């Protein structure tokens, strides 16, 4: 049994509250028998850990990853999301969407494992594997998922169907024998609050002036009003570091029970469902910030390799004097619990660490 040491770091985060790092250091998340787990994605849902390992198994627990569940048949899962601990979803290859209901992990319906896509205007469409990376569940009988190759699927409680929101490939030239190929835009993330309030981001691409490359000229947000999809005229830009030679990364959204947040153009934005537009709620401090997450719009956590952790308290940013996470240069994801007393960090080596606060 691991001993529980006294607190070594006190961190004032909010007026009237003092947070402390329990045991003063990050601890690697372990399974019940203390064996390490190589993790692909991790999240904190209702103050419980949920994680996917590289083999597609789901782990969960309150202090450690004490429970391990596998799908039958096995599937490669890569992304996990949920608002309630008894309603957690995971998506991955071959169009698989799995749901954890608090007791068991099961595949929802019969997956759409592949879709037909063209790779050249003069060639027939061929089946391409569906690799899902985004998921949104209005209810277990109303689930949307999106991913490659520019695919959106919907589950109505009985079966999955592909959704067409007007995403089209763009033809670009290359050095192949055919001289050109079709490049598919990216779709996602997807967010929403009810059956008539669902939105998804889709890229709008065109061929560059010399005809050699496809150029991302922005994005559009499509809205489902309960019956059909319509373009809103709004965008969700990518967040990138072009000046540092890095490609832009697909924008992410944080779907919370209290609302939807995203980060772009150096600020945290909230989605206004009534007006169907983004509203800036917090300008990021100067510097480079690789990761962000949120418990709600008044508690946003950001992390920079050379800046550490900063927390937005609804009025200003405050640096948290926490111990630095292990292998900081390879941080892949961070998350914070809704009660703001538990932090988790995942690195690119598949290792997850927790920091308990009290």
Quote the CA–CA distance of 246 and 353 in Å, as a whole number: 27
Rg (alpha carbons) of the chain, rounded to whole number: 21
pLDDT means over runs of 10, the chain (358 residues): 29 31 70 74 93 90 88 90 96 96 95 87 84 95 94 96 84 73 84 89 69 60 87 78 42 87 92 92 92 92 88 92 70 88 86 80
Contact predicate 331/314, CB 8 Å? no
Contact predicate 322/328, CB 8 Å? no
Contact predicate 44/334, CB 8 Å? no
DSSP string for 61-86: ESSSB-EEE--SS---EEEEEEEETT
pLDDT of residue 198: 94
Task: Kindly compute the dihedral angle of the four CA atoms of residues 185, 189, 190, 191, in this order, to the nearest 10 degrees.
Answer: -150
pLDDT of residue 123: 74
Task: Kindly compute the dihedral angle of the four CA atoms of residues 120, 124, 130, 135, in this order, to the nearest 10 degrees.
Answer: 70
Contact predicate 178/172, CB 8 Å? no
pLDDT of residue 20: 39
Quote the CA–CA distance of 345 and 42 in Å, as a whole number: 8
Question: Tokens in use for 162?
Answer: 């592909």
Residue closest to 300 by CA, chosen among 257, 261, 251, 346: 261
**CA dist list (Å): 142 to 57, 103, 109, 156:** 24, 20, 12, 5
Contact predicate 253/192, CB 8 Å? no
pLDDT of residue 32: 65
Domain range list for the chain: 7-31+284-358
pLDDT of residue 314: 93
Residue closest to 164 by CA, chosen among 202, 192, 111: 202
Residue with tokens 């008044």, as numbered in its chain: 298
pLDDT of residue 11: 29
What are the two backbone dihedrals, phi and then psi, of residue 330, each rounded to the nearest 5 degrees? -120, 20
Contact predicate 95/113, CB 8 Å? yes
Q: Residue 244 has what DSSP assignment? A: G
Quote the CA–CA distance of 37 and 30 in Å, as a whole number: 7
Q: Tell me the HSE value of 205 on the side-chain side, using a 13 A CA sphere.
A: 21
Question: How many beta carbons lie within 10 A of that of residue 94, not counting itself?
Answer: 14
Residue closest to 170 by CA, chosen among 199, 211, 227: 211
pLDDT of residue 19: 35
């Amino acid at each position: 049994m691991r001993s529980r040491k006294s607190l070594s770091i006190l961190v004032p985060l909010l007026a009237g509250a003092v947070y402390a790092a329990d045991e003063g250091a990050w601890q690697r998340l372990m399974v019940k028998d203390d064996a390490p787990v190589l993790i692909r994605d991790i999240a904190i849902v209702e103050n419980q850990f949920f994680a996917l390992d590289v083999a597609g198994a789901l782990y969960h627990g309150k202090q450690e990853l004490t429970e391990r569940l596998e799908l039958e048949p096995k599937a490669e899962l890569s992304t996990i999301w949920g608002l309630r601990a008894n309603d957690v979803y995971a998506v991955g290859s071959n169009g698989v969407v799995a749901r954890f209901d608090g007791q068991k992990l099961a595949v929802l319906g019969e997956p759409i494992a592949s879709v037909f896509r063209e790779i050249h205007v003069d060639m027939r469409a061929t089946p391409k594997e569906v690799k899902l990376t985004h998921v949104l569940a209005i209810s277990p009988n109303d689930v949307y998922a999106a991913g490659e190759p520019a695919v959106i699927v919907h589950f109505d409680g009985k079966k999955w169907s592909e959704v067409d929101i007007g995403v089209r490939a763009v033809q670009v030239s290359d050095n192949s024998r055919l001289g050109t190929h079709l490049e598919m835009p990216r779709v996602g993330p997807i967010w929403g609050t009810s059956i008539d309030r669902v939105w998804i981001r889709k890229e709008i691409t065109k061929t560059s002036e010399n005809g050699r490359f496809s150029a991302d000229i922005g994005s559009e947000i499509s809205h489902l009003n309960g019956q059909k999809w319509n373009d809103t005229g709004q965008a969700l830009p990518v967040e990138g570091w072009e000046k540092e030679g890095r490609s832009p990364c697909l924008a992410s959204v944080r779907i919370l029970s209290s609302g939807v947040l995203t980060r772009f153009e150096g600020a945290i934005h909230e989605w206004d469902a009534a007006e169907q537009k983004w509203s800036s709620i917090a300008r990021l401090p100067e510097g480079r910030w690789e990761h962000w997450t949120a418990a709600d719009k008044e508690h946003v956590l950001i992390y920079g390799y050379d800046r550490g952790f900063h927390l937005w308290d609804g009025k200003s940013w405050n640096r948290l004097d926490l111990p630095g996470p292990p292998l900081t240069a390879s941080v892949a994801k961070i998350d914070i619990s809704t009660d703001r007393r538990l932090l988790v960090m995942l690195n690119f080596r598949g290792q997850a660490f927790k920091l308990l606060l009290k």
